[in-house]
Amino acid sequence: MQDRLQKFAKLVDAGSFTKAAEVLHVSQPALSTAINKLERELKTTLILRGTRPLKLTPSGEAAYRHAKEAAVRTSNLKLQIASTAQEKVAVRIGMIDSLADAFFERDQGLSKLEQQTSVSFIVDNSRNLTPAVARDDIDVAFVVAQQQLDSTLSAESIGAEPLVLVCHRALLAGTQQSLTDGELPNFVSYDRGSNTFRLIQRTLAEKRVSIQPTFYSTSPEVIRKLVLAQKGVAVLPYLMVRDLINQKLLAPIVINGSAVVKRPVQVVRHRDKLLAEPLTHITDQLRIILQDLMAEAL
């Protein structure tokens, strides 16, 4: 029954039989058979058939909570056994792209981590990484700080990442002149629904500067290319533009004495799940990296 409960939990997380079958690497009929058998074993209906999106009965909600709690207990037991036997443990880490760049640039502890664990990294945006922790697809996520989290998750601040307001050097004079009107035209922006967009908008508004986005993207790499092509101004991770600023290709736009926007970063984990010791070391390393980057950017 435990195997079928975990398949049921994956179904709920995925939101459909089709997606869950892909995640589980089973056929859709096989998954349907497993769920039907689970319902017969529990003598109840777990899913309201014919509804989109997937909806659970009260019994289904109880079964889902039980399955998730059982998965955490099993994970904790496996970690304790592996630690006792001094075996390698699997760790799954999610990071936003700019933090991954900073971490891999220094290679602090990465080689040791690979020796101690079977490690896998997922680089994605915060809106995808945080739910991945809730689904137990990854163990921890290093993401942009968020106001609201799933009740099963906990978050800890690890510092702030410096972002820099920049434009192509050829546009600097005209851009600085436009600030006299309190507006940044031709702003190349992060996706409107992202935490980073809201942070940038709020920070600039506090400096009495409004933005007029002409392009939105979830990729800072795309945004950087547009700025280099003289298509506008943007706020980008300091590490991503540092060399371009030193090469005099991009220029920081200073407003009220600073071009830096501080982006709070947090580590998100499952509230009741034990973590392998190397994950604590990575958290400490990222704290130091963020402190160093911020001191350099300011």
**Tens of pLDDT, residues 173-213:** 666 655 555 778 789 999 988 889 999 999 999 988 888 88
Is the predicted pLDDT of residue 50 greater than 80, yes or no? Answer: no
Question: Phi, psi (5° rounding) for residue 56?
Answer: -105, 150
pTM flag (> 0.85): no
CATH number of the domain bearing residue 192: 3.40.190.10
**Tens-place pLDDT, residues 258-278:** 899 999 999 999 988 888 877
For the chain, the domain total comes to 3
Select from 34, 62, 81 the last residue of a domain.
Answer: 81
Considering only residues 173 and 98, tell me which one the structure prediction assigns the higher pLDDT. Answer: 98
Are 173 and 252 found together in one domain?
Answer: yes
The mean pLDDT value for 222-234 works out to 93
The enclosing domain of 26 has a CATH number of 1.10.10.10
Pairing state of beta strands 117-123 and 250-252? unpaired
Which DSSP helix (H) or strand (E) runs through 122?
A: strand 117-123
Q: 160: which residues sit within 8 A by CB, 6+ positions away?
A: 262, 263, 264, 265, 290, 294
259 with 166, same domain: the answer is: yes
Which percentage of the chain shows pLDDT scores above 90? 40
In this predicted structure, what is the pLDDT of residue 15? Answer: 85
Structural domain that includes position 168:
161-263
Closest CA to 57 of 49, 69, 45, 39: 45
For residue 43, pLDDT over 60 is answered with yes
Same domain membership, residue 174 and residue 135 = no
